[in-house]
Amino acid sequence: MRILFAGTPEVAVTSLNHLHAAGFDIAAVLTRPDAPLGRKRVLTPSPVAARAEELGLPTIKASKITAEVTEEIADLGVDAAAIVAFGGLVPQAALGVPTHGWINLHFSLLPQWRGAAPVQQSIIHGDDITGAVTFQLETGLDTGPVFGQVTEAIGELDTAGTMLEKLSNSGSMLLVQTLQAIDAGTAQGVPQAGSHTYAPKITDVDAELDFTRTATEIRRRAHGTTPFPGAWVKVEDQRYKFGLLHERRDVTDLAPGELRIEPGKQPRVFIGTSTWALEPTTIQPPGKKMMNASDWARGMLTQGTKVSFA
């Protein structure tokens, strides 16, 4: 089966690897253009572009699928296009170019969480289960018939990063199976049923923590925005960022935002909420790198500095 692969971030690389290993004839890889990264803003290929180059696959770099890009895809003569987190819409003019259309691997259990940030929103809103589906791309936003799905449980310490890693692996195998079934003529798309929800793109504002809320709500928001953009709170116009947050149901004597450091060989940090305390694993103070919370706490004890997240 001759295919086009479309994808951009690291989470899409796993699918490209699985499709290549499965023996699909990948005519080309469509990905977004090189982007400036780092403090020096060096133009850097997307993770998918870098992997395509390692595999010796030709690339089409485009921020939008224009008429010119559509013509370039048509010239490839592909049977299907596999798309995983490309980062741009496929216009109607391009949908019918591959013989079997575009097959999207989406990281949610559609029709739940249609849109750009399904895993992040699923964690923030407290879902216990998420998953990935393959479906036929059409003009509506993630509305096409579903070919198959896999599910994954969301643990209390799972983040958007860890869940995307899990789903990129199980989802890529599902994508391979779906394309193989399409090639064999045995694939059957099932219309989506039930109520739908939307997953808009996560912004920096979504990652701000409010310690007047419950510990569970705060933990979900923090983990849903980890690793990007990263959970944060502002103290006197300076930001503190957090990694994992453990719910400490046995610590209930702290006011929302109140911070307590328990001294010892490995000092521990507890932050009050409207229910019980949270214990951060890592903290990034203003102007510094992320560090173990115990190391930060040790410095605070040594300096005699006091901070409140209220």
Per-residue model confidence as pLDDT tens digits over 145-183: 999 999 999 999 999 999 999 999 999 999 999 999 999
**Is the pLDDT at 304 greater than 90, yes or no?**
no
Q: Which domains does the chain have, with CATH numbers?
A: 2-199 (3.40.50.170), 204-303 (3.10.25.10)
**39 pLDDT tier (thresholds 50, 70, 90):** confident
How large is the angle between the packed helices 47-55 and 10-21, nearest 10 degrees?
20
Closest CA to 281 of 266, 291, 271: 291
Residue-wise pLDDT tens digits, 223-248: 999 999 999 999 999 999 999 999 99
Sign of CA dihedral 115, 180, 96, 192: negative
Closest CA to 243 of 203, 277, 209: 209
Q: Which two tokens stand for residue 119?
A: 């895993």
What are φ and ψ of residue 218, in 5° steps? -65, -45
The yes-or-no verdict on residue 44 having pLDDT over 80 is yes
Burial 232-250 (b: 16+ CB within 10 A, else e): bbeeeeeebbbbbbebbee
pLDDT at 210 over 80: yes
Give the SS3 label for residue 216: helix
The dihedrals phi and psi of 133, each to the nearest 5 degrees, come to: -130, 155
Give dist(CA 74, CA 66) in Å, integer.
Answer: 12
Q: Is the pTM of this model over 0.85?
A: yes
CA distances from 93 to 69, 138, 139, 206 (A): 11, 11, 10, 35
Distance from C-alpha of 149 to C-alpha of 160, rounded to nearest angstrom? 19
Residue 249: pLDDT band by 50, 70, 90 thresholds? very high
